[in-house]
Amino acid sequence: MNEKVTIYDIAKKLKTSAATVSRALNNNPNISESMRQLVFETAKKMNYKQNKLALALKSGKSNNVGVIVPYIDRSFFSSIIRGIEDELYPRGYRVIISQTHETEQKEIDTINMLLNAQVDGILMSVSKFTATNSHFKRVLDNNIPLVFFDRRYKMKGVSSVVIDDFQGGFDATNHLIKLGCKHIAHISGDMSLEIYRNRYEGYKTAIEDAGLEFNPTYVIESKNDIEAGQTAVDFLLNLETPPNAIFSSSDYVALGVIQKLKERGFNVPQDFCVVGFSNEPFTKFMELTMSTVDQCTVEMGKMAALVFLEQVKNSKIKIEKKVQLSPQLIIRGSSSKKL
Amino acid sequence: MNEKVTIYDIAKKLKTSAATVSRALNNNPNISESMRQLVFETAKKMNYKQNKLALALKSGKSNNVGVIVPYIDRSFFSSIIRGIEDELYPRGYRVIISQTHETEQKEIDTINMLLNAQVDGILMSVSKFTATNSHFKRVLDNNIPLVFFDRRYKMKGVSSVVIDDFQGGFDATNHLIKLGCKHIAHISGDMSLEIYRNRYEGYKTAIEDAGLEFNPTYVIESKNDIEAGQTAVDFLLNLETPPNAIFSSSDYVALGVIQKLKERGFNVPQDFCVVGFSNEPFTKFMELTMSTVDQCTVEMGKMAALVFLEQVKNSKIKIEKKVQLSPQLIIRGSSSKKL
DNA sequence: TTGTAGGCGTTATCAG
DNA sequence: CTGATAACGCCTACAA
């Protein structure tokens, strides 16, 4: 029933021109106050809605930003997106979400679609299996801001927001050392990924700084799931000198670790301390709550949004901003013994 | 460096017209094969990207759909969104996300923005505090499909996808009855919300169908958090005839229930059975895993997307589709005793 | 202060 | 088969 009403319709009813209506609506100074009032009233009366599409075509700015993540239903990513949306919505930007399902092909497709859709910026976390970067270059060539968060692809001209994984690994390990643990093992994710290498480096540095012996057999590279944690424990406990603490770069692995430890009769944290990484929601709902490292996800999202906004503001200057947020060690039941 | 290339640029280079280029690119039959080839090649060579904005303005279809949820970082909503995106992306739709933070004002604002942005449809879960419906009417007046999922506002002409909350409540309670529990309490969320009333009705019906006595003092209305569960247990255990099982319409409340029960020396599930609702991720990571009712969130998202697509296809007919998905009772540790 | 005209990039219509 | 032209809705010189 409600056919779309345009500024022409308003102009016709007011026996004036579309230009006048446009000026009135945009609070252009060169217009009489009476006319402005009149236009506003009839616009409201006729239920006029500005067509942002036309505006976008004209101005070249869509006021849409694309956000690309592997999966939106991982708490880590959804809370980053929350931060982004919270920050960008009040500034009039709409957030377009896409998932890559961790495949490079979908990442490429998605970027092409977003480019076609004339987004004003792309904020993304790189898919695990991305090996090429020409699609990122294309974004840059089109002169639209590209901001990586968490997982980045190292290249020139791109800003990124990550947490200080080294610091996180260091803090977690150091906490275990302070608790009196002398034999601390580390279960890492895929070391070909920067984030896991950095957490590992933090671990190693903490060990060495404390004058403890670094033992390479205490370092296990594994998948990020519960089973991997269980398997790792079985392996570690069979060593000649088994560890009495574990820092895991994944909360899921840490969960498997705790399960297996209990199964084998250990008391956590009295006999054995465990610290995970990510502050997944479940870590605080467990019977024995888990110590972990919080990655400030909402904060990370907000920061990514702010970096984007800054680039938009200074569109002439090419900024390459690297923001590194400090992770937050959260001490809970799995590593709280007092010695 | 890479200035935007349009079909005019291609036409110029090929000394032909934009119309021809457009036809070639769109595989219009009225064009010579040689021309088509030539256009495709040079388009690729010049790195041409179709401007979807212009197309959208021309066609009136933006190929964007708006999705509105209270908060994107709740696992319930993010996995619905995942379902929506998975379904819509391959069909060329992009998904615009916004959060209402459970306020009606932001819901209204968001709908206005999305309308201005000429979205082709709106899929949403109504904010808890929404009391009016004129913004929904506006969507309908603009003739764009509106699909509610989970929380709906009862009104004519709007499709919705919900789960059968009655069934969920019934199944959960019936499961407890079959386990031999005779005194089953129910902790409900805000009864002014349809979903909680329905779960309650399911509970009540199961009790009565089994020939057990329905006891109104066993029904508690509370907030959806851990503390509320703890408080409720304290209250229930002080009754003359305390219950020996609880069906909670929230997993968080159920978690508080289990915590408090253990604190007071009960063994779950031997002395006391508990079933929650929602299948929050943490329920399967707890030491004592929790029985709950899964709401098929990804499925719900997919279904909402399909209902939208159907409405787009038959745009002349006004469809008002009510889809009700069956919830899935998941039996885990907190209610698994054999009698 | 107001109106006219042109253009943003496409596609559709109508001639040729 | 191909080319000009109008139109989608808006903004903005430029002219009046």
Q: Is the dihedral of CA B217, B219, B224, B227 positive or negative?
A: positive
Q: How much is the pLDDT for A2?
A: 61
Residues B198 and B271 in one domain: yes
- Number of structural domains in chain A: 3
pLDDT at A5 over 80: yes
Angle, helices B33-45 vs B18-25, to 10°: value is 90
User: Does residue A209 belong to any structural domain of this protein?
Assistant: yes
Residues B171 and B290 in one domain: yes
pLDDT digits (tens, 9 = 90+) for A73-116: 999 999 999 999 999 999 999 999 999 999 999 999 999 999 99
pLDDT, averaged across chain B: 94
Element (H, E) at A231: helix A226-237
Residues B150 and B170 in one domain: no
Domain that holds residue A22: 7-50
Q: How much is the pLDDT for A4?
A: 84
Residues A156 and A274 in one domain: no
Residues A306 and A227 in one domain: no
pLDDT digits (tens, 9 = 90+) for B310-320: 999 887 677 78
User: Does residue B45 belong to any structural domain of this protein?
Assistant: yes
Rounded-to-10 torsion of CA A241, A247, A252, A255: 60
User: Does residue B206 belong to any structural domain of this protein?
Assistant: yes
Residues A17 and A113 in one domain: no
Q: Can you give the CATH number for the domain in which A251 is found? A: 3.40.50.2300
- Token pair for B245: 């099982």
Report CA-CA distances (Å) from A274 to A12, A208, A252, B137, B255: 73, 19, 12, 54, 23
Mutate to test the interface with B, among A2, A4, A48, A78 (most CBs of B within 10 A): A78
The torsion angles phi and psi of A211, rounded to 5 degrees, stand at: 75, 15
> What does pTM read for this prediction?
0.93
Q: How much is the pLDDT for B29?
A: 87
CA of A19 to C1' of D14 (A): 13
User: Does residue B55 belong to any structural domain of this protein?
Assistant: no
Residues B135 and B201 in one domain: no
pLDDT, averaged across chain A: 94
Mutate to test the interface with B, among A1, A53, A268, A295 (most CBs of B within 10 A): A53
User: Does residue A1 belong to any structural domain of this protein?
Assistant: no
**Judging by beta carbons within 10 Å of its beta carbon (0-12, 13-18, 19+), is residue A100 exposed, middle or buried?**
buried
pLDDT digits (tens, 9 = 90+) for A174-204: 999 999 999 999 999 999 888 999 999 999 9
Residues B173 and B135 in one domain: no
pLDDT at A263 over 60: yes
pLDDT at B339 over 70: no
Residues A252 and A306 in one domain: no
**By C-alpha distance, which of A278, A277, A259 is closest to A268?**
A259
Using CA atoms, how far apart are residues A115 and A144, in angstroms rounded to an integer? 9
Q: Can you give the CATH number for the domain in which A45 is found? A: 1.10.260.40
User: Does residue A285 belong to any structural domain of this protein?
Assistant: yes
Residues A102 and A126 in one domain: yes
Using CA atoms, how far apart are residues B184 and B189, in angstroms rounded to an integer? 17
User: Does residue A263 belong to any structural domain of this protein?
Assistant: yes
**By C-alpha distance, which of B159, B213, B149, B151 is closest to B181?**
B213
pLDDT digits (tens, 9 = 90+) for A293-317: 999 999 999 999 999 999 998 876 7
Residues A227 and A291 in one domain: yes
Residues B171 and B153 in one domain: no
User: Does residue A178 belong to any structural domain of this protein?
Assistant: yes
Strand C nearby residues, CB < 7 A: A 15-20, 23, 29-32, 35, 54, 57-58, 60; B 4, 6-8, 18-19, 22, 25-26, 28, 48-51, 54-55, 57-59
Chain center to CA of B134 = 22
Percent of chain B with pLDDT over 70: 98
